Amino acid sequence: MSALLQLAKELHAAGYRFTTVTPATHERVNRRPENAHARDLRGVFGWSRPFGPGVLPPLIVELMDAAGVLDRDEDGWRSRVRFSTYDGELFVHSAFPTDAEDSVFFGPDTYRMANAAATAAERGRDHLRRAVDIGCGTGAGAIAVAKRAPDAEVFAVDINDRALRYTALNAELAGAGNVRPVRSDLLSGVDGDFDLILTNPPFMIDPAGRAYRDGGEHGYELSLRIIDQAVRRLTPGGELVLFTGTGIVDGRDPFQEAAAERLAGSGLTVEYRELDPDVYGEELDGPAYAHAERIAVVLLTARAQRPAVILEQ
């Protein structure tokens, strides 16, 4: 058993729980003087605060060292990973702040996406045989589906090798043996059609171009690429569940307009709704979103028609 997996098991046994917040909230909470240093497991593995000897049990520190996730510097010790809880499971992901190119992000959007994935899996449980989570990150969506459809083959694809390693560990922690992490640029690395395609792609306009965050020039180019590939890979009755964000400009939703154009004539039944009309407000202060009045998170679902059943007379 890897040291990181054993570390996660020890945290779980200790009753560790943590809900990850947005980066802006995380920074605000950590700025409070009383939060300058960690005093417990949540401070170290949730809030990514510095700590020193005596804060954690010796076994936890030994496992961190063995797993290569313990940084020691002049400001104290820090964990290179965080652990968050969702759906009764523990998920490893990158420490705050997630500045590195290969950061594996987990946050409020993960909870929303995984909830949508779980709902879709429950809705299609009777015919769900193959599913794929595009840009899987921590694998939260794939694992949510795999738990509800244990007989299904669930692919978790990403171009980030660290994300695939974390997904494999998180799936093992959850006992989701039907999750298959695969390195793939969208659907290029997996064959066949799918009963469920789910995704929470990067959707920000990120001047730094970080892969886990950047959705393209307007924030939605990657989402459109996924739509283009997904509509050709759905089984009859299959469903695309796409959770993403969009900058609203003068009351218009450019992503909704572009997606509708892409899906016109596809024969799919499309639903589109805002889940939260106002998120990541701090981004509006930067030049990338100077044109937008708000950023919304949205859920697009597209379902392929099932063939009609003809009853013999």
pLDDT in tens, 93-122: 999 999 888 999 999 999 999 999 999 999
Please report the pLDDT score of residue 64 as a whole number: 98
Burial class of 207 by CB neighbour count within 10 A (0 to 12, 13 to 18, 19+): exposed
Domains of the chain, by residue range, sit at: 3-94, 108-303
Tens place of pLDDT for every residue, the chain, 313 residues?
699 999 999 999 999 999 999 999 999 999 999 999 999 999 999 999 999 999 999 999 999 999 999 999 877 899 999 999 999 999 999 999 998 889 999 999 999 999 999 999 999 888 999 999 999 999 999 999 999 999 999 999 999 999 999 999 999 999 999 999 999 999 999 999 999 999 999 887 777 777 777 778 888 899 999 999 999 999 999 999 999 999 999 999 999 999 999 999 999 999 999 999 999 999 999 999 999 999 999 999 999 987 654 555 4
What pLDDT is attached to residue 236? 96
Alpha carbon distance 182, 189 (integer Å): 7
What would be the CATH architecture of the domain defined by 108-303?
3-Layer(aba) Sandwich (3.40)
In the prediction, which pLDDT does 259 show? Answer: 97
Q: What pLDDT score was predicted for residue 1? A: 62
Q: What pLDDT sits at residue 67?
A: 97
Q: For residues 195 and 124, give the distance between their C-alpha atoms in angstroms, rounded to a whole number.
A: 8
Q: Can you give the pTM of this predicted structure?
A: 0.93
Q: What is the pLDDT of residue 309?
A: 47
